[in-house]
């Protein structure tokens, strides 16, 4: 008897039994090529119909062909493996894409390697209840301005400058800063007595050769308004005389200084890389630099740029040994590439306190300090707040 045998190849073992496959037909007794192909088609059809034996698929004088039953096969489908590989690759590549190896390309303060750092950096720092936006100068009209009067207020525990101003009906808390010569709004204390004026404005000290008209023009108010507010009968002034200028407000610089928002330089060093786009020192590729680099010898003392609490210390493959300090009003500062860290998480430090030492750790070409400043989690140019 002539036997037609089905052979399952090694590759067929990886194929799915739910998909068609090609049977290999060999014949031993003189079937033509066409006959063999017909038998193969019939074998496929019978096999998927669940028959143990394949009947003859055509009319022939030879006995029916008999096939060995093939084991159900598993088809190899590469798509799931490719999908898993793609996901794993994306997860591994994501930290590099976000941090931009060699470029410090970080627009928000996020460290993928250290979850604790990420939590510290994204914790919201609540400012005082009132809005500390800069106040624009209020131009006095040519109409009558009442004479300013003052009353005393004794600071209570928990009071803030902005809260006291609001309770007194003042729109601009800078008025209290000016009238009371407060250079740091955060450092008023219980028991301190403040003078509260009856209107918004600034207290001004007359300098040599100044005139009432010149002072009025410089502050965008009228001479009449100055006369009325200060209950003056003429324009004669004396050096050192105090004038209340109605409607005037502190400049942005003065306001930020009083609020303690001016950062000091953490080291005296040479600027080697500014904030913004630059050529990467390793690759030469144009990329975003998230802070400023100040070159100094290894071991140079690094100082806190502003009062604050240590939010995190650790090691990062980009910044090396780093310190993160959380300041008032949502500011945070990062000090990178340190050779030593002298503070611990949760410790409170004052402006100018030594927190670490310059080094060359992490992604660095030489001893220097990397300084980044953040405002509510967003990068800002350090030079906009450094004094």
Residue pLDDT, tens place only, 87-100:
776 665 544 444 43
User: How many angstroms separate the CA atoms of 150 and 309, rounded?
Assistant: 37
Specify the 3-state DSSP secondary structure of 306.
Answer: coil
Q: Tokens at residue 242, please? A: 């105090």
Looking at the fold, whether 338 and 268 belong to one and the same domain comes out as yes
- Are residues 171 and 245 both part of a single domain? yes
Q: What is the mean pLDDT of the chain?
A: 73
Q: Count of domains in the chain?
A: 3
Above 50 in pLDDT, residue 104?
A: no
In a domain, 28, yes or no: yes
Q: Which of 74, 105, 134 is the last residue of a domain?
A: 74
Give the global pTM.
Answer: 0.44
Choose one of 236, 258, 280: the last residue of a domain.
Answer: 258
For residue 321, what are the β-bridge partners? 315, 338
Average pLDDT over residues 197-223: 94
In a domain, 140, yes or no: no
| Tally of residues, the chain | 387
CA 224 to chain centre: 50
At a CB cut-off of 8 Å and minimum separation 6, what does 56 contact?
A: 42, 64, 65
pLDDT score of 249 more than 50: yes
- pLDDT surpassing 50 at residue 84: yes
Q: Is residue 84 part of a domain?
A: no
Residues 346, 352, 356, 362: what is their CA dihedral angle, to the nearest 10 degrees? 100
Domain boundary at 211, 232, 258, which?
258
The answer to whether the CB of 344 falls within 8 A of the CB of 386 is no
d(CA 8, CA 186): 83
Kindly state whether residue 93 falls inside one of the protein's structural domains: no
User: 295 with 337: CB under 8 angstroms?
Assistant: no
Across the range 146-161, mean pLDDT stands at: 93
Looking at the fold, whether 242 and 322 belong to one and the same domain comes out as no
Q: What is the extent of the structural domain holding 38?
A: 5-74
Give the closest residue to 349 by CA, choosing from 321, 327, 322, 374.
Answer: 327
Q: Residue 99 falls within a domain, yes or no?
A: no
φ, ψ for residue 336, nearest 5 deg: -115, 165
DSSP result, 170-191: -S-THHHHHHTT-S-GGG--TT
What is the chain's Cα-based Rg?
Answer: 40
Whether residues 244 and 268 share a domain: the answer is no
């Amino acid at each position: 008897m002539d036997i037609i045998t089905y052979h399952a190849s090694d590759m067929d073992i990886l194929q799915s039994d739910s998909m068609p496959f090609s049977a290999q037909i060999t014949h031993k007794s003189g079937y033509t090529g066409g006959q063999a192909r017909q038998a193969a088609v019939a074998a496929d059809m019978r096999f998927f119909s669940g028959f143990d034996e394949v009947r003859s698929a055509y009319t022939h004088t030879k006995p029916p062909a008999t096939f060995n039953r093939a084991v159900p096969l598993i088809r190899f489908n590469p798509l799931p493996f490719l999908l898993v590989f793609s996901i794993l690759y994306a997860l591994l590549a994501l930290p590099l894409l976000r941090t931009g190896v060699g470029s410090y390309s970080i627009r928000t303060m996020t460290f993928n390697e250290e979850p604790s750092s990420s939590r510290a950096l994204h914790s919201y720092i609540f400012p005082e209840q009132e809005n500390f936006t800069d106040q624009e100068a209020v131009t006095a009209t040519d109409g009558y301005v009442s004479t300013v009067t003052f009353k005393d207020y004794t600071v209570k525990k928990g009071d803030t400058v902005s809260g006291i101003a609001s309770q007194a009906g003042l729109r601009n808390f800078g008025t209290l800063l000016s009238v009371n010569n407060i250079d740091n709004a955060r450092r008023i204390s219980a028991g301190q007595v403040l003078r509260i004026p009856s209107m918004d404005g600034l207290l001004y000290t007359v300098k040599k050769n100044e005139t009432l008209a010149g002072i009025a023009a410089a502050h965008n108010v009228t001479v009449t308004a100055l006369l009325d507010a200060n209950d003056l009968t003429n324009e004669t002034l004396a050096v050192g005389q105090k004038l209340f200028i109605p409607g005037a407000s502190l400049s942005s610089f003065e306001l930020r200084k009083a609020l303690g928002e001016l950062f000091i330089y953490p080291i005296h060093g040479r600027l080697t890389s500014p904030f913004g786009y630059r050529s990467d020192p390793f690759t030469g590729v144009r990329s975003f630099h998230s802070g400023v680099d100040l070159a100094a010898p290894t071991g140079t003392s690094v100082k806190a740029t502003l009062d604050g609490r240590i939010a995190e210390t650790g090691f990062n493959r980009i910044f090396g040994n780093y310190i993160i300090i959380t300041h008032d009003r949502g500011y945070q500062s990062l000090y990178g590439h340190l050779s030593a860290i002298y503070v611990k998480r949760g410790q409170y430090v004052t402006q100018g306190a030594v927190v670490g030492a310059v080094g060359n750790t992490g992604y660095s070409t030489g001893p220097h300090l990397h300084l980044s400043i953040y405002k509510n989690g967003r990068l800002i140019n350090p030079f906009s707040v450094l004094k």
